[in-house]
Amino acid sequence: MNMLTRGLATGVIALFAASGAMAEAADDNLVINGDIEIVTRTEAPAHLSDTMDEVMSGWLFRGEETRAMEADDFDNPGMIFVEQGEDTWNTAEGTEGKSCADCHGASSEMAGVRPVYPKYVEAAGEVRTLETQVNDCRENRMGAEKWGYTSGEMVNMIALLSSVSRGLPVNVAIDGPAQSTWEKGKEIYYTRFGQLELSCANCHEDNYGNMIRADHLSQGQINGFPTYRLKNNKLNAVQSRFKGCVRDTRAETFKPGSPEFVALELYVGSRGNGLSVEGPSVRN
Amino acid sequence: MATGVKPRVKVPKSAAAGETITIKTLISHKMESGQRKDSDGNLIPRSIINRFTCDFNDQNVVDIELDPAISTNPYLEFDATVPEAGTFKFTWYDDDGDIYEESKEIAIG
């Protein structure tokens, strides 16, 4: 009996020690395939200078095994979906009988596109996400049907476009014609929603690094999207994650693709300016 | 008939004679367990990879039986000792009778 009690006590201490160690962001470097160096922490962009000194990728807030999965494409389950996106890239569709590759060339030619989205598109007169641009191509250049905003095909395509930009710094423009949308996104970020009255900032700015029950709060950076989540075995679009977060505050959520979420994506994206594109990343 | 099935393997290009290397394999496959029902309540027939083998120069390395509880896109990782240069041959057996094969050369040096 005595032995049992002691055994239990040791177990409890070990548990506390483990959770204590978890509360810090990991001190680790991410190099994918021994080749692509990923910036997972860097100086905060100028517009955040009053708020924080350093911005950190969500990768640093995950466990050792999860971090290791992202360091090798073979171990990263998200890469299966990138391959499926690559197949779609080369498949002709729609009334024009064109594939993405017919206009854009190889998918690797698209390196540098992901890091600047969402951005103001002159021809459309509005800030657009990469998803909106993909659907614009499908409708107007291919004569194909639009994909659902967070559908499997769409997420695979965004994962492909992210994967070819891995290692490049996120660099969304917040001034000029994008500024009003950016201000709107900022307002949403700091607005408390739902019965729990939580804003994005309450968790991801005031409490990153702390535990929220069993989970380790990150800064809520979106440089790693689309994200392969171990909890649902699939790639998750950034705006699906926004929806999940807002839902968790017990609020009516905005729809993925809505002007509110586009503005929020621009603002949250700008908070990660300087971090490397990581998608498809691996998270819990 | 399983669709979108694609095998992948990762084997070092070379090893020292007698060295133990790690081999990683992954096959994209839906691994339908046969226990789920569709929206009309009909049982979805079982469709899984039921066996995986790896041979090195016609000598068996592993022979694995897979069961319905194994999830989508089965990933198998194992060690093998390489006595000489040769070829690893990987084979996946599908419930529907299809066989998927992949092979990788390894050099000594």
Q: What is the mean pLDDT of each run of 10 residues along chain A (284 residues)?
A: 48 43 77 94 94 95 94 93 95 94 96 96 95 96 96 97 97 96 97 96 95 92 96 94 96 96 97 95 94
Dihedral class, residue A60 (left if φ above 0, else alpha if ψ from -120 to 50, else beta): alpha
Query: Tokens 């009909």 label which residue?
Result: B42
* Chain A positions in Cβ-Cβ contact with residue B4 (cut-off 8 Å): 84
Cα-based angle A269, A226, B92 (whole degrees, multiple of 5): 165
pLDDT at residue A233 in the model = 87
pLDDT at residue A24 in the model = 79
Contact flag B28-A80 (C-beta cutoff 8 Å)? yes
Nearest neighbour of A233 by CB, restricted to B24, B28, B72: B72
Q: By the 8 A CB rule, do B105 and B51 touch?
A: no
* Chain B positions in Cβ-Cβ contact with residue A75 (cut-off 8 Å): 24
Read out DSSP for chain A?
-HHHHHHHHHHHHHHHHHHHHHTSPP---EEETTTEEE--EEEPPGGGTTT-SEEE-GGGGS-HHHHHHHTSTTT-THHHHHHHHHHHHT--BTTTTB-HHHHH-SGGGGTTTGGG-SEEETTTTEEE-HHHHHHHIIIIII--PPPPTT-HHHHHHHHHHHHTTTTSBP----SGGGHHHHHHHHHHHTS-BTTTTB-HHHHHTTSTTSEETTEE------TT-SEEETTTTEEE-HHHHHHHHHHHTT-PPPPTTSHHHHHHHHHHHHHTBTBBP-PSEEE-
Contact flag A80-B71 (C-beta cutoff 8 Å)? no
- Cα B29 to its chain centre, rounded Å, is 11
pTM of the model: 0.86
Query: Tokens 């992948």 label which residue?
Result: B8
How far is residue B105's CA from residue B109's CA, in Å, rounded to a whole number?
A: 13
Q: Which domains does chain B have, with CATH numbers?
A: 6-34+45-108 (2.60.40.10)
Test mutation, B72, B76, B102, chain A, max A CBs within 10 A: B72
CB atoms within 10 A of CB A203: 19
pLDDT at residue A217 in the model = 95
How far is residue A136's CA from residue A233's CA, in Å, rounded to a whole number?
A: 29
How far is residue A271's CA from residue A186's CA, in Å, rounded to a whole number?
A: 10
Closest of B69, B59, B11, B62 to residue B35, by C-alpha: B69
Cα-based angle A29, A33, A37 (whole degrees, multiple of 5): 40
Instruction: Kindly report, residue by residue over B16-52, the tens digit of the pLDDT.
Output: 999 999 999 999 999 999 999 999 999 999 999 999 9
Test mutation, B3, B9, B13, B28, chain A, max A CBs within 10 A: B28
| Interfacial A residues in 73-92 facing B (CB < 8 Å) | 74-75, 77, 80, 83-84
Is a pLDDT exceeding 50 seen at residue B61? yes
pLDDT at residue A25 in the model = 87
Q: Which domains does chain A have, with CATH numbers?
A: 33-282 (1.10.760.10)
Q: What b-and-e string marks burial along A137-170, b requiring 16 or more CB atoms within 10 Å of the CB?
A: bbeeebebeebebbeeebbbbbbbbbbbbbbbeb
pLDDT at residue A11 in the model = 46
pLDDT at residue B3 in the model = 75
Cβ-based neighbours of A9, under 8 Å, separated by 6 or more: none
pLDDT at residue A10 in the model = 47
Active site residue A245: yes
